[in-house]
Amino acid sequence: MGSPSAFLRTLIVAALAAVLAFAPAQAQQQVVTITTTVTTWTYDEVDDAGADHIDEDAALLGDETLADDAGFVATRRYAPAATLTTLGHTKARFGPFSVIDASTVRMAGDVTSATPRQFAAMLAAFPGIRRLEMVDCPGSLDEEANLTLARAIRRAGMETVVPAGGSIRSGAVELWLAGTVRRADADAEFGVHSWADEYGREANDYPANDPVHAEYLGYYREMGMDAAKARAFYALTNATPFDDVRYLTRDDMARFVTLD
């Protein structure tokens, strides 16, 4: 046998081993602190000042070539901030709709699949609304919903208005066309471009006699254009690619539909 001191050291070592064996697992782990730095980038959209060009093969309206009309050139503006302040002091909001009073609603924002339901809920709560002021309307994220909403606007007998500084683009132009009475301030802007399907094909990628065009031509006829004007307006919009915008003025739109 060894000495008593050696025996005592053996007992101490054994005791320490037993403590470590039964200690909680987390007490045996090394704690590591990881610091993550998150950087947020803010981008300010800068639009090119200037004009969109009208293609030489744009649609014909009667004997006039729209492409040759300098009136179809408009400066890109995109939703003046001063106009957006008019959305304040609302009675209620339903998606992009802000109810101003018993007869007036202002619209700012995109149309989504939920927008027709929001419009219906608004009319149920405020059945006297007859004036739709379109302040800043970029267009539609759901084309089927957009046309459903447009026809609901027409059934409700609404007046559609683009106020001073107002900007409507893409599918929002179809909504404005749905008004039984249409108004627009002198500096209102209307942005148009071609549609594109889920495969990225645009209107001009389809043959002229393809049935796909009938839905849009039929809608323009439904909203009061005659056949020639419907074809001319449809051709004008499709002369600009989907990822671009051509800006039209109040006077430009008056060549296709009646304004009050």
User: DSSP letters of 192-236?
Assistant: E---B-TTS-BGGGS-TT-GGGHHHHHHHHHTT--HHHHHHHHHH
- 239, two tokens: 């002369």
Sign of the C-alpha dihedral, residues 236, 239, 245, 246? negative
- 30, two tokens: 């090394």
Residue 68: predicted pLDDT: 38
Side-chain half-sphere CA neighbours of 26 within 13 A: 1
DSSP-H helix ranges across 107-210:
115-125, 143-155, 171-177
Q: Is 174 helix (H, G, I), strand (E, B) or coil?
A: helix
Residue 246: predicted pLDDT: 97
* Contact of 94 with 119, CB cutoff 8 Å: yes
- Tell the residue number behind the tokens 């419907």, with chain if given: 230
Cα distances (Å, whole numbers) of residue 38 to 41, 43, 160:
10, 16, 45
- Tell the residue number behind the tokens 């209307």, with chain if given: 190
- Do you know the residue count of the chain? 260
Residue 89: predicted pLDDT: 77
How many Å apart are CA 79 and CA 103, to the nearest integer?
Answer: 24
Pick the CATH number of 60-253 from 3.30.420.40, 3.40.50.300, 3.90.226.10, 3.40.800.20: 3.90.226.10
Q: Model pTM?
A: 0.71
* Contact of 140 with 171, CB cutoff 8 Å: yes
Residue 87: predicted pLDDT: 54
Strands, DSSP E only, in the chain? 60-61, 64-65, 92-94, 97-101, 104-108, 131-137, 159-162, 167-169, 181-184, 189-192, 246-248
pLDDT tens digit at each of 260 positions of the chain: 444 444 444 444 444 444 444 444 444 444 333 333 332 322 233 333 333 333 333 333 443 444 334 444 444 445 444 344 455 578 999 999 999 999 999 999 999 999 999 999 999 999 999 999 999 999 999 999 999 999 999 999 999 999 999 999 999 999 999 999 999 999 999 999 999 999 999 999 999 999 999 999 999 999 999 999 999 999 999 999 999 999 999 999 999 999 99
What are the domain boundaries of the chain? 60-253
